[in-house]
Structure 1
Amino acid sequence: MKSLVFTFLFLFGFSITIAAQSTASKQISTFKIEAPQLNTYKTIWVYTPKSYEASSKHYPVIYMFDAQNLFDEETSYVGEWKVDEYLDTLTNKDVIIIGIEHGNEKRLEELTPYPHEKHGGGQGDTFLQFIINTVKPHIDVAYRTQPEAEHTSIFGASLGGLMAFYATIKYPETFSKAGVFSPSFWVNDKIFELASSSEIPKTSKFYFLVGSKESDSMVPDQEKMVNLLKEKGVDENNIKNIIIKGGEHNEKLWSENFPKAFEWLLQ
């Protein structure tokens, strides 16, 4: 994996180069795959549990957005979630995690199901088609997964949280559980219209989390969506609505709260 490099120039006219060390677990591997829906190639990160090589069992799968920020300080924008470090400590909840990298300057375009009036975007459904029709079939062949929707979750934060929610509402035959951190429902009100008009399985599970110090609309929007789901008949026991006092819109919030969300979704 390519190292980030920091160069320090000294007064004497020479420099030294220090390579940042990767913090990714030994359980992490990566591969590139063609994304014909997006006319590009994508790097996919795979976390397999420590039990994987020595067993023959099949595992539930969580698909996660923004792979660059999940596992490795070296590739993260402003800190990693430490998903792999947490999973390495577990002895009784084995799962395969699939991290899908965002397209850097194309992130807004990829992770918004509807365009924003000012910022554009809106190609999120095409990105999901890549996950559903290209990534997931490959993963289900290459790894011992439990491919059914009841064993398949999707997880993200910010725009990734928006997309995780959208995916579970739009494609319940593929995803039955969503980790929805700091969801960017502000992008377009059509997300509320979709939830209102969709047939949502009563068994779908949603773990919502937001910090009280995020933008003014974040907490009200999350509560609005939670109430809408309850009105649609989703079992209240299948909805978590977590508001972290003092929480800000950053990797620290998401990293610290990933373990509880993970445990609840995998119950």
Structure 2
Amino acid sequence: MKLFTKGLAALAAGLLLAAGADAGATTVRVHYTAGKEGIRIRADKGAAGWSKGVAATASDAPLNVWTYTWPDALGEIAMKPTLGEDKVSIGGVYKLAPGATVDIYPFFGAPFGKVSVVKDFASPQLNNKRSLRIYLPPSYEENPAKRYPVLYMQDGQNLFDAKTAAFGVEWRVDETINRLVATGVMDEVIVVGIDASPDRIPEYTPCCDPKYGGGQINAYDAFVTATVKPFVDRSYRTLPGKDSTAILGSSLGGLAAVAIAQRHPDVFGQAGAMSGSFWWNDGAAIAKPANKVPVRFYLDAGTRDDGAADTLRMRDAMLGKGYKEGTDLMFYSAEGARHNEKSWSERVDKPLAWFFPWGASRQ
């Protein structure tokens, strides 16, 4: 055990030196084009206080990187950068472990992301077209050095705009993320809303429910993983790895999200079903649950006419496969909630914060 501990310590020291940090130092590197205003550091320890802060040092190479260091004897550091004297970064406090070198990519402008629409996006697997609705986070234009986790969501038409949403009720995903980022609850993310097609039921389902049929999930799965995701990774500044990629849906879209992540644990590190339709095909997903994969799953259901009993059975089936609630499985019971867009909009903050908590993303 002592040899193992020494080995870890040596490895950590080597990584710090390789990153350019001084031995025995806790270092933050702020990536931002600050110009003449410069970057200052406010912190809970050392010379950098919370009220005014001290100047970070601009590096010659790479450009637009500002560095500040504390002795690691001070322990964990809580800090925030400022642009000039007074513009404090938006979002939560950054926490640095003793001896760590941490790169951060802050922003200082208004905490409002933007949604754009990619129309007539073709699916060769399904031989049809649909829109993709892309939410880009607040800092996307302000800090071009930053890359982002990505959340893929079914029923994109319902996420951002009441004009296109079912029954005129949108999920308000953009407003919710803006709020959670501004208050330091979650990291910034890109959201890709994939519109449902007229063949929504077959596309989101495996074969075959006695009443509804279905069975095009294989083609839809390939559309998401082999067409949509590569396009997004080419077109936007993403963090493409599995730990930075999630998929989420509601009802049949939730059933699809869970199935796709179970098939592709190398692509998705998080997946969620809000009011998932686990009743499909006489509860086949519950009766024969997939083997445990290295994916964190979120499940929820409302307590009013929302299939809560089936979702609880799905949770129990996953626990039986080795998942641990609170670690790689989260279940939320929404008291009084129904199977509709309004209810999902009121609790979409739960999976968002579970998937992408503040400070979890690394460039």
Q: Same fold (TM over 0.5)?
A: yes
Q: Greater RCO between the two (CA within 8 Å, min separation 6)?
A: 1
Structure-1 residue corresponding to 2:209: 116
Within the alignment, does 1:98 sit opposite 2:189 as a pair?
A: no
Q: Distance in 2 between matches of 1:77 and 1:241?
A: 25
Structure-1 residue corresponding to 2:319: 230
Is this contact kept in 2: 1:213–1:247, CA < 8 A?
yes
Within the alignment, does 1:69 sit opposite 2:158 as a pair?
A: yes
> Match for 1:244: what amino acid?
A
Name the SS for the 1:236 alignment partner. coil
Structure 2 counterparts to residues 211-230 of structure 1, below 5 A: 211-215=302-306, 218-230=307-319
- Which structure's CA Rg is the greater one? 2
Is this contact kept in 2: 1:114–1:187, CA < 8 A?
no
Greater Cα shift, 114-123 or 131-140: 114-123
Q: In the alignment, which of 72, 78, 84 is matched to residue 174 of structure 2? A: 84
Q: Distance in 2 between matches of 1:199 and 1:264?
A: 19
> Match for 2:172: what amino acid?
K
Shift of 1:261: 1.9
Structure-1 residue corresponding to 2:228: 135
> Match for 2:147: what amino acid?
H
Q: Distance in 1 between matches of 2:178 and 2:331?
A: 27
Q: In the alignment, which of 84, 97, 115 is matched to residue 28 of structure 1? A: 115
Within the alignment, does 1:266 sit opposite 2:327 as a pair?
A: no
Q: In the alignment, which of 332, 342, 347 is matched to residue 242 of structure 1? A: 332
Unaligned 5+ runs, structure 1: 1-24
Greater Cα shift, 204-213 or 58-67: 204-213
Q: Distance in 2 between matches of 1:230 and 1:253?
A: 26
Shift of 1:26: 6.6
Greater Cα shift, 221-230 or 142-151: 221-230
- Percent identity over paired residues: 37
Structure-1 residue corresponding to 2:341: 251
Name the SS for the 2:348 alignment partner. helix
Q: Distance in 2 between matches of 1:179 and 1:205?
A: 8
Is this contact kept in 2: 1:63–1:98, CA < 8 A?
yes
Is this contact kept in 1: 2:292–2:322, CA < 8 A?
no
Unaligned 5+ runs, structure 2: 1-111, 358-363
Q: TM-score, normalised by structure 2?
A: 0.63
Q: Distance in 1 between matches of 2:334 and 2:356?
A: 21
The count of corresponding residues between Structure 1 and Structure 2 is: 237
